[in-house]
Every structure is written in C-alpha cells, then in structure tokens.
Chain A
C-alpha cells in the first residue's frame, strides 16, 4: 500500500500555495516539516480528498479510509469527551480505554465545551486513533500540550497509530521522537 503525489499544484485566489510537489507515502510515520504557511495543511487536505489540486496526480488513495487530527479541534462542543469518540466509532470499550490512556479517565462525561485546550487536543487524538482508517493524518497534533503530557501522548500515538501516518509538524523533536521518514518543504 502506498500513496503517491505527482506534481501537485494549488493556488488560492491567485496565490500559489503548492508548486509541483511530489511525494510517496508508505506505511509507517512520515513527518511533513516546514515553516508555517508553506502549504503543509493544504497538501494533507489534498491527500485526504478534502481539497482538489489545480493540477497533478494523486495515486493510490481510491478506496482508502482516512482519519485526521485537524489543526482546529472540530469537536462537538455539546457532546462529552466519550460522545465525541462514539460519534466516529461504536466501540465504547476502546473509546474509554483510549481516553483513560490519554489521562482523561476522569473527564469522560464532561462536555467538550468544558474541557481545557490541552484536554480537547487529547480527545481529538483519541478520536483519530479510534476511527477505522488506512491513512492517519495528524496536523500539528501536539500543539497546546505541556512538555510532560506531550511526551506520553506522543508515545501513545506511536503505539496505536497504524497504516500510513502523515504527521505535520514544525517541531524537529516531535519528528525525531516519532521516527520514520521526513518530508521537508
């Protein structure tokens, strides 16, 4: 299983965001690195099929299932932490286990709106991990987490993530920890 991008170009309102970007993603971690605003998120959205490229080819994504930790939390504020996971998967037992592992065991039934920024981020990560997927896209998944917690959550992601995992980050230490390939813009 591999996903390949060939000569991808994308502009928004006449402003070129991606020019002739080519890459191959295979099972395991690939960290996409580069400065903010360079088009990493746009490329991830193109891979996930959320944005269409202006030109270029995307090979091997047909029929693949995606899971994403978006840059924004995109949680259902009116649902509990557990409810947000059950929105994407019926596996309650695994949802509880993942949230507990993410140190949210005492906040399972707290509304997402009432969770702190760091807690919300962890719920997002758990939601992406519990979903059924072939390709996992993590768009700056660890932002807002304090150093100690970040380490344990990165370890959690490393343990549970499977298939093709694309992690967008501009933090060298995160890429080092997760290992795998690096794709630098």
Chain B
C-alpha cells in the first residue's frame, strides 16, 4: 500500500509539473472518470466482451502450448518441425497478426486469435524446458519398476513441469491483455475495450485513455490473482 501511495504521489507531481490535462491527467481525474464510466452499462459490456475473448485466447494457448511441448519432448522430429513455427509466432509483430486476422477472420475472433498467438510461444518454451528438466534418474527408476505411463506423467512430469507452466501462464496473462487490446484497437472492433481506447484517442480524451488503462491493469491483475489462487488450491488438494 505505501508503495502504491508513493507512485500515486509521483504521478500527481509529474502531472502538476506538466500542467496539461491533454498530455497527463492527475490520478484524481483518472479515478473520477473511471467511476463515471463504471456507472454505465456500456463500460461493463465492453469489459465482459474483451475479458471473454482474451480469456478464451489465453486458455486455448495454455492447452495447445502444453500439448505441443509434451509432443516435442516425446518426439524430437516433431520438435524440429514445430520449433521454427513457434519461433516465427514469437517474432511476428502483433500488428501483422492483427491485419492478417482481420483479413481471414470475423473481427469478433480477433482478440482470441491474437492473445492465442502471443501466449502460445511463452507456454510452449517454458513447458518444454520444464519437461526437459525432469530428473532422468527418477524416470529410470520408474522404468525399472514398470510404473504405468499415466502414473509417471502425474507423479513425476506434472510435479516437475507445474511450476514452469504456472510461471509462464502468469506472465502470459499480462501479454494476453496487452496483445488482445492492441488488436481490438487496430481492428477497431465494436463494443470492446480496444474500441473505447480508440475512441478516446480520436477525441483526444486523455482522461478516458487513463481510466480505461487503469481498468485494464486491474483486470489483468485480477485474472493473474485468480489464476494463482486456482493453482494454490490445486496444490493444496494434491497435498491433502
């Protein structure tokens, strides 16, 4: 809390020095505008639409990235084949993906697609690294004792890989929000957070830009916290 207060004071001071609401609004103006927006149904509709799409893109990337990493660890040829595709996915700018997706898909799927392609490489690299770091001596032990594959996956691989997936997923959430909203903004998708940011830019409404940005940061933070909470609950369930 003191840290947050410190940065709010820094923000207030910088805004006072600049002295232009067009360039930088104060925290008070930002939060007043955020409260005003929160009183409208359109605000919550935009949030629900964007949140649903980003969440879908993120979850699809989490599932696909994990499966691809598992297949890559199991079949080296598959890894050699898939790695250039994932590397390319990682290097292509969000703007390029957005334009390509706008040509190919319905705009309503834009944020899903862009969040997916942004998060997938993060999940893939980390999960693959986690699988590769599994202790070979434990795998040899399981082989000697003829332990069934299902048990090896859950009791050895999952335990080793889970922290890698968790770390990748928590940073992936932030990237999903950044890329998803950037795509909505470039694609000017109606009824989304990205479109609201676009409108604020057109009307030079800096207070709206800041209010929406604060909302995005809070949403991303809430999603990350919820994800951590689910993981912690799963961990406690496994311990019990």
Contact = CB atoms under 8 A, between A and B. Distances in A.
Contacts of B142: 87
Interface string B133-161: 00001101111111100010001100100
Contacts of B159: 76, 78
Contact of A131 (B137, B138, B143, B145): B145
Interface stretch (A33-41, A52-60, A64-72, A177-185): A64-72
Contacts of A147: none
Nearest to A68: B144
Place the interface of chain B in its size category: 10 to 19
B235 to A, nearest CB: 10
A107 to B, nearest CB: 17
A48 B155 contact: no
B155 A67 contact: no
A67 B140 contact: no
A70 to B, nearest CB: 7
Contact of A70 (B137, B146, B151, B155): B137
A60 B151 CA distance: 29
A85 to B, nearest CB: 10
A125 to B, nearest CB: 14
B154 to A, nearest CB: 10
A66 B144 contact: yes
B140 A50 contact: yes
A74 interface: yes
Contact of A76 (B140, B143, B144, B156): B156
A77 to B, nearest CB: 9
Contact of B144 (A67, A72, A78, A79): A67
A17 interface: no
Nearest to B137: A74
Given A76-B155, A79-B155, A70 B141 contact: yes
A70 B135 CA distance: 14
A88 B147 contact: yes
Interface in B170-227: none
Contacts of B138: 74, 76
Contacts of B151: 87
B145 A88 contact: yes
A48 B144 contact: yes
A87 B137 contact: no
Contact of A74 (B141, B146, B147, B155): B141
Interface string A113-157: 000000000000001000110000000000000000000000000
Interface of B: 137-138, 140-147, 151, 155-156, 159
9 contacts: A48-B144, A67-B145, A68-B141, A70-B141, A76-B138, A76-B155, A79-B155, A87-B147, A132-B146
Given A68-B141, A87-B142, A131-B145, 19 more contacts: A50-B143, A50-B144, A66-B144, A67-B145, A68-B144, A70-B137, A74-B137, A74-B138, A74-B141, A76-B138, A76-B156, A76-B159, A78-B159, A87-B145, A87-B147, A87-B155, A88-B145, A88-B147, A132-B146
**Closest 5 interchain pairs by CB?**
A88-B145, A74-B141, A74-B137, A68-B144, A131-B145
